[in-house]
Chains A and B, each alone.
Chain A
Amino acid sequence: MSRAERYLKPEVIRQVSRLDLRAKFIVEGFLAGLHASPFQGFSVEFSEHRKYVPGDDLKDLDWNIFAKTDRYYIKKFEAETNVTGYLVMDLSESMAYTYRQELTKFEYAICLAAALGYLMIHQQDPVGLVTFDTQIRASLPPRSKRTQLANILALLSNLKPTGQTDIAGCIHQLAAMVRNKGLIMLFSDLLTDPEPVMKSLHHLRHRGHDIILFHILDEAEAHFPFDGLIEFKEVEGSGKLTLDARNMKGDYLRSLAEFKNFYKNECAKAAIDYVAMDTSVNFDKALMEYLLQRQRRF
């Protein structure tokens, strides 16, 4: 495993404190694993040169520049139709949860969002950021400048998940707010009633947006590793339950599967990409999903 690939693992990326480095490591690791550069065939008009990096297609090599300078440069093309991306972050308190004291769901989501932002900026795609809890809290309009990444990372690193959430309401708000068609990437644990959320997603979809729904759960939520007598406390409420976890596991996982299946089926019907993830899953799954989505568009 190359050093860059190692950073696709959440438990490794956790040890990196700076968010920009996290994003860099994740994306580079991802790209190194692809063995083919994602940066090709996206635009038809030449815009600039850039240095060759391993993995680039040799056909894009500018042999004239090589002849003159004896250096490898790749011809870059200006995209005629770029994808406008919106990273939409759920700030509910439940997103701050972690069982194994590694990455919280929120941190995982931030890493993912940062990596995607990093990737998109490098792709010349404009990308913006929206955060919400019970309402939309902060937003950065989409830009494709390199400075946009710094702005996004700065904002993400200062976010803290607290309090209740109203996913459905916020998505409705977002639908009203975003006029141009774009790619909405929603990061949430979706731990609320699914029907209103789906309704809001339909609303968003109705406005012509493409949606990637990153359903992020903690590893403990996804696999329910508890055993013995445990008192479970609600995060966003005051509910308590004392249960035999071993006995409950099956029932819990069934309920969770039903919940995820509901989103999966409904999203499929609405042509929304539903990506179920938990904090133990490598980041490349999310990045790949983005790239596939982008590829489908063009």
Chain B
Amino acid sequence: MTFTFPLLLGGLLLIGIPVALHLLLRQKPKTVLFPAFRFLVKRHRTNLTKLRLRHILLMAMRVLLLAAIVLALAQPKVKDNPWSLPSDQAVAAVFIFDTSASMEYTVAANQSRLKDAQKRAVEMLKLLPENSEVVILDSADSLPIGKGDWLQRDKAAERIGQLTLHSANATVSARVAAALDLLTRIAVTKDDSQRGQRARVVCIFSDRTVASWDVRERKSLQELANHVLPTFDRLSSVYSGISEQEKLLAELPQRLATVIQSFPVEGLTGALQNLKERLPSLRAEDYPDKGTQPLLAAVRGKQQELLAILEQQSKSVPENAKEYHTKLTTALQTSLRNSAGFTAFYVDVGVEQPRDGALTDFQLLLESPVNGNSEAQFKLRADIQATGEDFRSTLACDATASPHDVTLDVKAGKREHVHFDLDKSKLKLGHHQVKVIATPGDQLPINNARYLTFAFRNVLVLADSPSDVQVQTWARAIEANHFGAARYRCEIKTPTSLGEKAPGMFNKYAAVFLCALKEPDDKLWNALADYAGKGGGIGVIPPAQESNKDRYNGKAAQEVLPATLDKIVDAKAPGVDWGWKGDIYKHPLLHPFQEWRLGKWDFVEYPRAATLYWQTEPRKEQVQVLVRYADAINHPALVEQVVEKKRGRAGRVLLFTTLPGWPIWNNYLENSFYVALVGRTIGYLSGDDDRPALNFISDQSVPRVPMPISGQAMAYKLYRDGAAPPAPFVAAVNVEEGQNEARIPQAAEPGNYTLRAGDTDPVAWFSVNLPPEESDLTKVPKMEIEAVLGPDAVLTIEGRTDLKEVMRGHVSRPVELMPILMLVLLVLLALENLLANKFYRRETQQV
């Protein structure tokens, strides 16, 4: 309750006057002799009680009369829904807008969801009381919120009008976390702005799609929300609700025994008790204080926990406990509303039954041949899903593929896929960019196209004899692997065929393998050292003869290699397996083995073993033994050296101690262990397994594109949907000296991108696509959102022309009590007169 003239409440002291008069001027009875006394004796007790009651009644009437006069003059107002949007006092509000791609969904009159959200937000602004301040948050932003972000309503309306869709977007729930953090801070801030004392409001404008709200953050969001302190005037209602909750919780073990099994009720009753003891001692001038926040947060946390359990078990509540269940749920919800530090509205501008055909995936596949005669076939696969209704779509692919376009029917709620065959003979080394488009268009055009960049990358395999079976097998195993859209083509060369060895000669290769070279010279080692220093990946299979070890232990070789070679150890048949110890899986190269070993893979059932291996002496700095043999001394099996760089990806050198696939040395080739080892090695050394190098999702992570290693800073131009003009120019991109990758935040919209240095051919290719989940227009359950924002926070807009209609019952309007008090005053006055006349009418005549 608030008062227009609170100082007048001092007049309540006047109510002491009738009490004092009653006590001081108590009527002295007149004495009368009366012979017929006997007739009075019978009923005098009842009569005396009635007399006293009348006097007290009259006094109470006069006290009430005075109190009503004073209260009426002070002009009290009450709020009809204290937890709703205030309409009379300025508020501190945070408006959060979902600007993700799904908000492009358009209904009649080209009204996108974002446009609708903007319109609703302006309507909401009008509902806010005068002098309210608003912060506008965009789900695409991740910038911290500063004091300058508080805007008056007119400025806020301008800012809302400037909002646009962003394909690179984060979840709305992430921005809610930022808003709650902001509200927590202002709730404990005492400054001239008085934001801390104002009612706080959070308004979210979103289509409520699953991609917009991360349900896994529920717990952390609840904790954040619980730390926003309520305004002081809400504490009285929090306090008054505690007794009822304590009473209900005392009955919980008898009424709902199943709840007790998963919820220790003592925790909540204890927290309520602590709060009950603290609240009466709080004074407005000391609030907010540090002690109350953890107590309130503890109570709210446990209330939410219990509420969640009650909701889960609501269907299995026994018939005789249903009333109790409802009572407890209502009491908890009311308490949570009262103790909330903010009022939240999630304005759902989404469409209840959306219709959309969406391309959700586009990828390159290498399909194994059905029979052994033909070669593996490259195919492009496009996935399309229908939402809301059946779709007939034509998918057109711009690659040299057959067929060029495919028409297919997709049932509502189903996902179908289409294959486009690629002619392997026409696939050259290097990068390729393709696009698939679904026609006709629909109400959400942004997900009607999908982009793909794939590359055939060169891997150099150096061997003394390229025709060796082991070398050929190694190369084929490399080519069989792919990471993301990167595929490999191996060049098998001898050291001599390389010609003059110079720094930079290996820059074009994704990785370089030395396959048991007998006599690598220092020039080769120097060129390799330069390559590793620029972030290249080198795999070294040691020589098969001890006599060649000097070439590996020389100074130039040791600039590259992580260890010296001592001697060849004969482990005798059946040989030794790797020592599969827990900590080896921490390394990214070996990490997948942990999962594989849990499965029934053949190399787990039948472990591979090395009978011959080099005894090595790892150097100490920047060297790590990744895995050791399970022999008596635990000789190193794989040794790695990381060549750190100031910027960009570090170089990696991996030294095998046995010759993988050489039958005398080990039996690795006899099962899938060999392929797995080669796959992990090429992925790790090329860097393709730890980053989607060519295809990116337009979330908030910035595309990091592999670049040719350059000794100087370079300026590039970024184009979309085409390698050169007339393709649209997007931005200029600068890559600093020594960088082997570029961060390109400008590439936010879906499309195929290329980077060119001047008029030369493109040097980098990549694609950006929408996150597939952005095309999932399924709604997040209201319960998930209301668990964080409070009961009834979600407001559905669809079909409503005016937000006011939706907000009916959610806006707290002050109810003027003066007219009611004036009526009460009149009634009291009449009653007082009536009673006084009735009691004293004849006394004046007779006494």
Contact = CB atoms under 8 A, between A and B. Distances in A.
B281 to A, nearest CB: 47
Nearest to B845: A227
B48 A235 contact: no
B799 interface: no
B238 to A, nearest CB: 48
B497 interface: no
B108 interface: no
Contact of A97 (B30, B33, B48, B54): B33
Interface in A244-271: 244, 246-248, 251-252, 255-256, 259
Given A227-B842, A229-B27, A241 B44 contact: yes
B30 A235 contact: no
B32 A226 contact: yes
A239 B846 contact: no
A189 B847 CA distance: 26
B369 interface: no
A231 interface: yes
Interface in A195-230: 217-218, 220-221, 225-230
Contacts, number: 103
Q: Is the interface of A mostly helix, strand, loop or mixed?
A: mixed
Q: Is the interface of B mostly helix, strand, loop or mixed?
A: helix
Contacts of B35: 94, 97, 189, 191, 218, 221, 234-236
Given A230-B32, A233-B34, A244-B47, A225 B41 contact: no
Given A227-B843, A242-B48, A244-B54, A256 B39 contact: yes
Contacts of A58: none
Interface in B816-847: 839-843, 845-847
Given A243-B47, A248-B43, A232 B34 contact: yes
Given A229-B27, A235-B34, A243 B39 contact: no
B36 interface: yes
Nearest to A256: B39
A242 B846 contact: no
B31 interface: yes
Contact of B47 (A228, A235, A251): A251
B22 interface: no
The bracket for how many chain A residues form the interface is 35 or more
A237 interface: yes
Interface in A76-101: 94, 97, 99
Nearest to A220: B34
A243 B29 CA distance: 8
* Residue from B28, B34, B843 with most neighbouring chain A CB atoms (10 Å): B34
Contacts of B847: 227-228
B27 A228 contact: yes
Given A231-B29, A236-B35, A239-B37, A246 B42 contact: no
Contact of A233 (B31, B41, B841): B31
B39 A259 contact: yes
B841 to A, nearest CB: 7
B44 A230 contact: no
A247 B43 CA distance: 10
A94 B36 CA distance: 9
B43 A241 contact: no
B840 A228 contact: yes
A54 to B, nearest CB: 42
Contacts of A234: 34-35, 37
B50 A247 contact: yes
B267 to A, nearest CB: 59
B51 A244 contact: yes
Contacts of B28: 229
Contacts of A237: 37
Contacts of B30: 228-231
B44 A248 contact: yes
A231 B47 contact: no
B50 A233 contact: no
Interface string B25-67: 0011111111111111111100110110010000000000000
A100 B806 CA distance: 78
A251 B840 contact: no
Contacts of A227: 841-843, 845-847
A97 B36 CA distance: 10
Nearest to B842: A227
Interface string A172-196: 0000000000000000010100000
Contacts of A218: 35
27 contacts: A99-B32, A191-B38, A221-B34, A227-B841, A227-B842, A227-B845, A228-B27, A228-B842, A229-B27, A230-B31, A230-B32, A231-B29, A231-B31, A233-B33, A233-B34, A234-B35, A235-B35, A239-B41, A243-B44, A243-B51, A244-B50, A247-B47, A247-B50, A247-B51, A248-B47, A251-B42, A252-B39
Given A97-B35, A231-B30, A251-B43, 16 more contacts: A94-B35, A191-B36, A220-B34, A226-B846, A227-B843, A228-B29, A229-B51, A230-B30, A231-B29, A232-B32, A234-B34, A241-B37, A241-B40, A244-B47, A247-B50, A248-B43
Interface of A: 94, 97, 99, 189, 191, 217-218, 220-221, 225-237, 239, 241-244, 246-248, 251-252, 255-256, 259
Interface of B: 27-44, 47-48, 50-51, 54, 839-843, 845-847
Give the top 8 A-B pairs by smallest Cβ distance, nearest first: A227-B842, A94-B35, A228-B843, A244-B51, A255-B39, A229-B29, A231-B29, A234-B37
